[in-house]
């Protein structure tokens, strides 16, 4: 079994992925990422991009906040 890899969005944990064969399965840690729970991704990067799409930055947030 593979080691879990944490997926962070804007510095906060969204979930973790486990390598299953040639894919990565996402396990959510909370809202709004539960929509992705159990989803398979080809790469760790794809899992992170999907998580980022669910958690947009706050409108008043500038680069580096």
* Domain range summary for the chain, segments of one domain joined by +: 5-54
pLDDT, position 58: 62
pTM for the model stands at: 0.81
* Enclosing H/E stretch for 48: helix 44-54
Q: Is 41 helix (H, G, I), strand (E, B) or coil?
A: strand
Q: Write out pLDDT tens, residues 6-63.
A: 999 989 999 999 999 999 999 999 999 999 999 999 999 999 999 999 986 666 656 5
Cα–Cα distances in angstroms (integers) from residue 39 to residues 31, 60, 62, 63, in the given order: 15, 31, 31, 30
pLDDT, position 37: 97
């Amino acid at each position: 079994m593979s080691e879990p890899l944490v997926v962070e969005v804007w510095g906060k944990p969204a979930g973790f992925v486990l390598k299953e064969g040639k894919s990565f399965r996402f396990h959510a840690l909370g809202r709004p990422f539960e929509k992705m729970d159990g989803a398979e991704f080809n790469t760790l990067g794809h899992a992170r991009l999907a998580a980022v799409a669910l958690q947009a930055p706050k409108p008043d947030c500038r680069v580096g906040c």
